[in-house]
Amino acid sequence: MNIKATIAVHGGAGGLSYFTNEEHRRRYLSGLSNAVSAGLEAAKKGNALDMVVEAVTVMEFDGSYDAGRGSVLNLYGEVEQDAGVMWGGKDLSVGGAVASVKHVINTIRLARLVMERTDHVLITGDGAEELAKQFGLWVPSTELINEIKINRYKSLIRNLRSRYEKNADLARKLGLLGTVGAVAIDRDGNLAAATSTGGYNT
């Protein structure tokens, strides 16, 4: 099969009001470009799964998105992330996912470990944290929480109920914004997708 490796990425569902300033907007767009480049570079030696994991890893490290290093604080003032990968390769692996992860920058890599190194599809909470420790992905909360996030959290809590009553209810039920992701096809026609979020969680 002779297919050109292709990847598409997204950096969240926020509108233009998401950007705090012009520098933030430029960094956000540059991060998307870097994610695509990382995915295409991974295609040279790897497959579609490598492509999407590398692309999402770049966005998690970047800090411009509500995932990984940029994860916002949930309604309890904590970082709480989810991530998942799907692989439509020749072995038809189902995928792997993690949820309620609080001490990992690259949750997408942790999700891949669930798929490749365990018999599970989903590992959550303490189990995911322990897996992260075993594979060197665990970081202290100081790596993920900073003054900007704390101030954003305080502002959210102040304004949530008074200005956004419907949104407050929705946030508690569903979570808001925050998801980055990638989908790719490699030269052999294998499909893969990856997503990571550290947006508003309940």
Question: In sequence order, what are the residues at sequence separation of 6 or more whose Cβ sits closer than 8 angstroms to the Cβ of residue 35?
Answer: 9, 11, 55, 56, 58, 59, 62, 182
H or E element at residue 127: helix 125-134
Residue of 6, 20, 57, 179 marked active site: 179
**How many CB atoms sit inside 10 A of residue 168's CB?**
18
* Order of strands, sheet of 122-124, starting from the edge strand that comes earlier in the sequence: 6-10, 179-185, 191-197, 81-88, 96-101, 122-124
118 as an active site residue: the answer is no
**Catalytic sites, residue numbers:** 179
